[in-house]
Each structure stands twice: as C-alpha cells, then as structure tokens.
Amino acid sequence: MTVGAAARMRRGLLDVATILVGAALTAGLVHIVAILIIPLYASNDAFARLSQLGPTNRTILLPEAGAPDARLFPYRDPAVAAAFCRYDLSDGPVRVKAPIARYEFSSLSFHTRRGDIFYALTDRAATQGALEALVVTDKQLRTISAHDSEDEAPRELRVVSATSQGFVMMRSFSQEPSLLPEAEERVRGLTCHAEPGAK
C-alpha cells in the first residue's frame, strides 16, 4: 500500500469516527432534552392524579402502599402515612397547618402545579406542636408585606409558590406497622384553608 493510499484510509476512518461521535452526541442531547420536556406536556402528572381523589383545600389520605387503589402512586414506603391537599391561590393565600408527634418524623413538602418541590419543612421546624405556613404568590406576598410593621418581623412563615395551583404533601413515619394508624391520624390533621386577604 502506498503512502498516499494509507493517508486516504486514515482520513476516511477519521471521517467515519467523527460522524459516529457526532451522531452519538446528538442522540444523547435529544434524549436529555426529551426527558426535560416530557413533564411539561404530561397530562397525567401528580397534580392530575391527586385531582381525581378530591377537591381543592380538602385533606385527603393517600391509600396505604400495596392497597388496590394505591396504583395511582406506586413505590410508596409502607412505613410512611401520607396525606395531601391541593390549593388554588387565585382566591387568596392558603394557610397550611399540620400537627406533629413528639418522637415520630413528620414533614411537609410544597409542590408547584407541575409537581416540583419548592419548599419543605420537617418536625424540627415545628412551633407549639405544629408546622404552619402561609402559601402565597409573589404578588400576594408584596401586598401582605406592605401592611407589616416596620419595627417587628413577621412571625408567620410565608412560602411563595411559583404557580397559583399546587399541592402540599404531609408524610409521617411509623416505627412499627402497628403504629401506622397513629401516623395516618396525624396526617389527617393536615389543614389547608383559604385565608382572606391579598389576592
């Protein structure tokens, strides 16, 4: 094989390798973009599935893991009781309150309409045996803050939601299967009430 032929073969192999690497990078990029975009267009997301279980501002206990009606929410931990309430801030802020137990882990997570968690609290943030927060939009927060005293910081926790609709999920851990009913009773204590005020 002549030197020129060998050089042409190397160039040809290099061109093929470049095309293959480019195709692999393009395929990977398309895959990543698809994964990021699909949730935006999903019609049966978490909010839609929760909507099937009850109205806005009502606390609803999720079925136990393994129960026949638990198929809407797979992969749940059987040692954790969970309840949720959906909110709609178009009518004003929503006050969320949840009781906690002294020795059992409990948490609140605040989700946007798309299901993204934008804030979370654990029982360590509790005051007077409860977790409490006021969920507001950015505009509502500005209106409420305009009435705050300049000499005193607000005592309530205000959580700003990026979307007017969303949901709050409460979870409570039970150390033993026999204690699960107590955990379920705790999460049933979650309340979400529309608060008269800034719209």
Give the per-residue SS3 of 158-171.
EEECCCCEEEEEEE
How confident is the model over 89-110, as a mean pLDDT? 89
How confident is the model over 35-57, as a mean pLDDT? 72
Q: Is 26 or 198 the better-scoring residue by pLDDT? A: 26
For residue 71, the tally of other CB atoms under 10 A from its CB is 9
pLDDT surpassing 70 at residue 41: no
Would you give the distance in Å from CA 9 to the centre of its chain?
Answer: 55
- The label of the residue with tokens 């009430």 reads 193
At 66, list the tokens.
Answer: 């393994």
pTM for this predicted structure: 0.73
Per-residue confidence (pLDDT) for residue 43, from 0 to 100: 60
Helix (H) or strand (E) holding 133: strand 130-136
| Architecture of the domain made up of 46-194 | Sandwich (2.60)
